[in-house]
């Protein structure tokens, strides 16, 4: 059982480049989330999705885009990368069948130089 | 606006000693509260959660937490710490809004736990 899988694990970008962080889950969860974690800080919600075709902004959405074409996949797009986007990115998924439990991926360490 | 404060950045305890990690929240309504643990290089894992009812909640790995509305606190405790408990611990409160609150979490900055042998 793979759970939530994120790729890549590490990436270095130059300022102005773009990239997509991949996230896929095999638990048939409706809900998926992207968080970022800065050093010494808690996680902050970037975007979330409550099902295929439905996405919404979280606390810190600027500079990011998402799409949800399938239940399994929820990619996060960075356009025009900036040093402020240097962070660890976590994808998570869950269902709304009462457990209120999130399953997290192992994270993507991104550096923008 | 919702917020979570974890006043201790780093705590060190000896193996076998008791542990209490502090968490204070700011939220206008009845909160949904969570404790997560993050081991190095890993994602977060849910330890326990409080939605309503009994204010003392039990979680995995022998952890418990007590919700105290009068103090706006949700402190995490463990009677006897094991070396494998060394990790970073995050308290979180769920935001309100349409639909499920699942995942729309506000996290504290975390408490790093070191366990001495």
pLDDT in tens, A92-110: 998 766 556 788 999 999 9
pLDDT in tens, B43-53: 889 999 988 88
pLDDT of the residue at B30? 73
Look at A48 and B103 and tell me if their CB atoms are within 8 Å: yes
Look at B103 and A92 and tell me if their CB atoms are within 8 Å: yes
Mean pLDDT for chain A? Answer: 91
Look at A31 and B102 and tell me if their CB atoms are within 8 Å: yes
Domains for chain B: give ranges and CATH numbers: 3-116 (2.60.40.10)
Look at B49 and A48 and tell me if their CB atoms are within 8 Å: no
CB proximity A43 to B under 8 Å: yes
CB proximity A64 to B under 8 Å: no
Q: What is the mean pLDDT of residues A58-72?
A: 95
Torsion of CA A73, A105, A62, B91, to 10 degrees: 140
Distance CA B21, CA B13 (A): 11
pLDDT of the residue at A99? 56
Distance CA B67, CA B33 (A): 9
Q: What is the mean pLDDT of residues B17-45?
A: 89
Domains for chain A: give ranges and CATH numbers: 4-112 (2.60.40.10)
DSSP 3-state assignment of B87?
Answer: strand
Those residues with Cβ within 8 angstroms of residue B84's Cβ, 6 or more apart along the chain or in another chain: none
Contacts of B46 in chain A (CB under 8 A): 101-102
pLDDT of the residue at B53? 84
Strands B64-68 and B73-78: antiparallel
């Amino acid at each position: 059982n793979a759970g939530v899988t994120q790729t890549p694990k590490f990436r270095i970008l130059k300022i102005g480049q773009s990239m997509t962080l991949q996230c896929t889950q095999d638990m048939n969860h409706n809900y998926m989330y992207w968080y970022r974690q800065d050093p010494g800080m808690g996680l902050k919600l970037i975007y979330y999705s409550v099902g295929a075709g439905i996405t919404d902004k979280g606390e810190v959405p600027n500079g990011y885009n998402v799409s949800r074409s399938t239940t399994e996949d929820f990619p996060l797009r960075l356009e025009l990368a900036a040093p402020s986007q240097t962070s660890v990115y976590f994808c998570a998924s869950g269902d709304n069948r009462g457990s209120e439990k999130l399953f997290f991926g192992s994270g993507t360490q991104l550096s923008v130089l | 606006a919702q917020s979570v404060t974890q006043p201790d950045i780093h705590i060190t305890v000896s193996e076998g000693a008791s542990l209490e990690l502090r968490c204070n929240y700011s939220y206008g309504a009845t909160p949904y509260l969570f404790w997560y643990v993050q081991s190095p290089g890993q994602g977060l894992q849910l330890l326990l959660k409080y939605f309503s009812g009994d204010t003392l909640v039990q979680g995995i790995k022998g952890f418990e937490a007590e919700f105290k509305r009068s103090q706006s606190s949700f402190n995490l405790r463990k009677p006897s710490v094991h070396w494998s408990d060394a990790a970073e611990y995050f308290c979180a409160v769920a935001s309100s809004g349409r639909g499920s609150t699942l995942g729309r979490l506000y996290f504290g900055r975390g408490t790093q736990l070191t366990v001495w042998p």
